[in-house]
Every structure is written in structure tokens, then in C-alpha cells.
Structure 1
């Protein structure tokens, strides 16, 4: 009996040793994957910074940041980024006006009003929007949205309004999905307490639940707008490629005419006959770094808001 027990003990030790080695292998595999993502991120940043420095050796950084004309392919070359930044912000603001209220309303409905059966239909339908190729959105805006809006506004073939609408439609799933997760995480005790005080369902949803999920909702807004800033093909097709400074005080005129975003300018340079040794070629990397700084800053803002206003329930 003692021999059998010792053999059983030895086998159990062997099995435990194999399990420990397997766990160690899994640990290093997962660590390698995590390290690879960090390495790729820093590699991209390094490539952007390296070629951007080459660009600023040929073009003044002051002229780049304060210039009001972007003409990288026609002499005299001018590389002012302000028209591209203003075009990007116009599209972003316009898409926010479309996506943020609709996305939040959809999130409130799915979380507070919809039955399980309705939610199982509407939520996948919203997520389908995120899977449509962006080039399809661009042609949809050009063929359908622009003619529809032209009956109400004096729009050209390429305009910022259609681009704003189609980008807003694109980011609705992100707003609604993240906002719904934040709203659903609010404990039912808050809802029940509000109902006990005589509140209606609408009051509970808008005055209790949404404020309690404020950090998650704001984070969804910022992340969705970061997605809008980086959109390329839909904006390039719908808004055109005409970089220009914004109009003041006639703000609506900015949406009626064609504009060019940072991403569209990068596409325009990449598809042209510009060689790899010209300032215009290196301007792509300067634009990429500018776009990276903008989106990274917005992500930092979203993370700060999430941590600053997060409610912890026990």
C-alpha cells in the first residue's frame, strides 16, 4: 500500500509540474503578444517622427503650423496645415451633431425601454453599420445624401455637410454600444429609488441613469469623435479635396462647400506622382503625426474623464 501511495504521489507531482510548465509557456506567449503590440506602436511613432524631422528640415515648422494655404504639388509650394485642421474639425463637429444625440437615444432605448426580443434585433442591426466598408459610405453620401440635402441647402457636388452626415452615421454604433454598456452597469437600486419617489420612466432614464453613467457616456463621445477625425475614404469621396480656411461669421457656409481633411490630404499625396525625395512626400508623415497627436490627445481626455467622474457602486 505504501508503494502504491508513493507512486500516486509521484504521479501527482509530475502532473503538477507539467501544469506549471504549461502555465509558464502560456505566460510567455501572452507576454510576447503584449510586447509585440507595444513594439509596433512605438515603431509607428518612431517612423512618423523620423520622417517628420526630415520634413521640418526643409519646411519651417512655424509656416506649417500657422500657414493658411496647402498646395504641396504646385509651385510655389505651401504647406500650411490650418486649412486641413479646420476641415477636419468641421467634419468632426458636424458628425458629432448627428451621432451623439442619436447614439445616446439609441443606448437609452436599448437599455431602459426595449424588450429582450427587440434588443436582440436592433443591437445587431446597429452593429452592422460598423461593418460596412467606409468607401461604400462615401459613395452612399455622394449618390443619395447629397441629392437629398440639396433640396434644402445650396450644396455643391462635394460638400462638408454630406460628409458630416455619413461619418455621423458611421460612428453611431460606437456611441450607442459603449453608452449602453455604461447605462446598463448602473445598479437597479437607483432606478427603484427614483420610481419610489414617483418619477416616470423618462425621468429615471434622463435624470438618474444617464447622469450616473456620465463618465462612460462621455468616453463613448470622445472615442467616437476620435474615430471621426481619422476617417479617410468616406470623407475623401463626399467632401472633396479643396483645402480652405473656415468662413466667419457665416458658419453654415463651411458645410455647403467642399473641404479637405488631414486624411484626405494624405490620400491625395499618396496617389499623386510625387517622388519620395520631395517635401510633399515627407509632408505625409508630418500630417500623420499631427493626426496622431490629435487623436491621442482625445483618447487621453476620454481616459481622464472616465477616471475622474467614474461612479463605483457596491
Structure 2
């Protein structure tokens, strides 16, 4: 598997001229088509997960078991030709089980670092709310800094690095809800949802002879993904649209139903997600539709409503974001 240490180290020819940008956008379409060939009937979820990857973010999937969360993560990893690790988060998990540990070698008298499962490109953190806060916090540095610190030594993670975490929002016994600072590290919180009847029928037919994900072939390499991330950063956002985003964030901070509004990091993440969606649509600039499309997936899980039970929290916050967008004038 190819990897490069940073975007600037990449020489795969996808950054620069208009022709190179066109090549990058064609690559995005191949990625989307490849993933959708194995994850049927979930076009919008596939698009948003890909946008999070290109925007350098992470994804939290909240939904019931058996709706394709693992298949989506595996399909994305296989499409990118990247290393994939699925880790089941349990109450007895230790941070060293995730990050790795320094092991003493008697022959040399030295300590040797043995990397944990987090040293991968795509990490599926399954049922992340079933492990203790100590383990949840162990992910913070990895998700925000792309590095981990063990025994006072910092180790860089492979690039690109994407965490796709899952949790069942309807089961609370024996779980540890993610704190706000942990939720804030996820670019998007998505729900896969039940497929439509025709798509579900096709899923049954496709799975008759095996798992469609297993037959996927890579259409992109790690250096190409890093270059696409660099191109996303070059997508233009007009000052008026940036002001529109700040206006909406300000309204969440003063909303009577909310005890916690959107942070500056949340606005920046929203900004990056809109850039990624614009790039995926083949544009070099963001339009209001990109901002609106990313708003609820990026912002709703960052808000805290007053007096709401955990089960209805996310849905109500999403409704508030949508209502604010409906009333806030869009720049021409």
C-alpha cells in the first residue's frame, strides 16, 4: 500500500492546473461509483462520507445494527486501496489495545514500540460508546493531530487517516455517551437509515452469492487521496458566504432552546465540508447549496438542546439548524 507523509510530499500529479483538477474530479466520480456499487441505495450517505474524507475529517454513524455501517466503511477502504481495521470497542478495552505500547526487549535492554490498530488508514471504531471515557479520549489526539503519544514519544499515523465510528442511539444501558469535546472531533454525524424496498430487494439478490464488498477493486491510492485533499483546500469560498455561516453560528449561540451553540472549530469544519462538496460537484467555488447540504450533518451533533432526552437530542438540534437556515437570508 502506498502512503506519503504529507500532502506536500505527494507528486502524483493531481494538484495544480485546471487539467489536473479535472483529473482529480474524475477520480472522485470513480470513487463514488465504486463505493455505491457495493453500498446500494445510500447515495447521499456515500457522498457525505467521501466529503468527510476529502475534507480531512471523521464520521460518526448513528443507527441501529445491520444497516450497512460496517459495509460502508469497508467499501470506502477497499476503494481507496488503503489499510482498513475494524475494532470492537468494549468496556474492558485499554488505551494500549488501541494505540500500542512500548515493549521491553531483554536482548537489547531497550523498549520497542509496537503500534496498535489505530495505525491504519481507515479505522472503524465499532460501538464507540460502549468503551470507557479513558479509551474514547485516547482517540482525541489521533483524530485531531494525526498522531499518538505513548510513553512520552510521539508517533505519526499513516496518511490519509479516517475514523468511522458507530453507535446505536437507541441503546443506553452499559454505554458511555461521548462528551462534547469528543463529538466535536467528528466532521459529520450521519444516519444510514433503512433502504427503500427496491434497493433492499437488490441487496438480497446481490448477497445471494457472497459479499459485494469483497469483489471491490481499488480505484485510488493514498497519495492521490492526499492530493485531492489539497485540491479541496483550494476551493474558493466568498466572504459573503463565510459571513452567512458565521451569522448562523451566532444564532445557535443565542438560541433559547440551545445551551451550547456551534464553536469556532465547528464553523471551520462546516467550511471545509462545503469546500469538499463543491469540489465533488466539479466546481472551484462554494455555492449556498453546498453550505446548506453540509449544515445538518456537520452542526447538529455539536449542539446541546435544553431539557431534551438523549434519544431525541440529535433530531431536535437538526430541526433547529434547518429552521435557522430557512429564516436566514442567503447572500446573492
TM, length-normalised to structure 1: 0.28
Structure having the higher Rg: 1
- The structure whose residues are more often strand, as a share, is 2
TM, length-normalised to structure 2: 0.26
